[in-house]
Amino acid sequence: MTVDYSDLAARIDALCHGETDAVALMATVVCELHHAHPMSDWTGFYRVVGPELLKIGPYQGGHGCLVIPFSRGVCGAAARTGEVQLVPDVEAFADHIACSSTTRSELVLPVWNGAGTLLGVLDLDSNTEAAFTETDVRELAAILARVFHDAR
């Protein structure tokens, strides 16, 4: 099963049109994405809440880690480096934080607003190895850039 990114992007764009509140945008994006991506068992945001610190934001799925420093895990690596982390096997990621013992692969994208401020990261976890692709990276990055451009 694949994601219909054209349909997903259109729904998210329509729902988020004119909104600038980052948390409201995160809640809407995560809800739509979680229900659209058949391989994502946990879909959520970790928000930047202080220097080098992420806290859980809106999410769908089981409980996530509450706090993640930039220095730890896949989410921390995305926040620290500003680069997408596409991890086909979390066991091979030296500093993976096991928020869920069932997670096998992960995709984390940094979320920036148009002013260049890092708002947080979008985290997709799957109980299946190699669940996420470069298509996911490309399509989700485009959606995030559009939706969060004016966010604050």
13 pLDDT above the threshold of 80: yes
Once rounded to an integer, what is the mean pLDDT over residues 97-102?
A: 84
Instruction: Indicate the range of 47-51, 82-86, 90-94, 122-126 predicted with least confidence.
Output: 90-94
Give the chain's domain count: 1
Give the residue-averaged pLDDT of 58-75: 95
Instruction: Look at residue 25 and give its three-state secondary structure.
Output: helix
Q: Which two tokens stand for residue 3?
A: 């994601």
Q: Note whether residue 72 is domain-resident.
A: yes
Q: What is the mean pLDDT of residues 148-152?
A: 97
Determine, yes or no, domain membership for 141: yes
Collect all residues with Cβ–Cβ distance below 8 Å to 24 and sequence separation of at least 6.
none
- Rounded to whole angstroms, how far apart are CA atoms 85 and 101? 19
- Say if 13 falls within a structural domain: yes
Cα separation of 146 and 13, whole Å? 8
Is there a domain that residue 102 lies in? yes
Quick check: 94 pLDDT over 90?
no
Residue 97 pLDDT greater than 90, yes or no: no
CATH number of the domain to which 70 belongs: 3.30.450.40
pLDDT in tens, 104-141: 999 999 999 999 999 999 999 999 999 999 999 999 99
pLDDT band at 101 (very low <50, low <70, confident <90, very high): confident
Q: What does the pLDDT read at residue 39?
A: 96
Closest to 42 (Cα-Cα) out of 123, 130, 141: 123
In angstroms, how far apart are the furthest CA atoms of the chain?
A: 41
In a domain, residue 56? The reply is yes
Residue 152 lies in a domain: no
Beta bridge partners of 48: 54
Strand partners, 44: 59, 123
- Determine the Cα angle at 8 with ends 15 and 118, to 5°: 70
Whether 122 maps to a domain, the answer reads yes
CA distances from 107 to 4, 59, 99 (A): 18, 14, 14
Residue 33 structural domain:
5-147
For residue range 16-62, list pLDDT tens digits in order: 999 999 999 999 999 999 999 999 999 999 999 999 999 999 999 99
In this prediction, residue 98 carries a pLDDT of 79
- What does the buried/exposed string (b/e) look like for 29-38 if buried means 16 or more CB atoms within 10 Å of the residue's CB? bbbbbbebbe
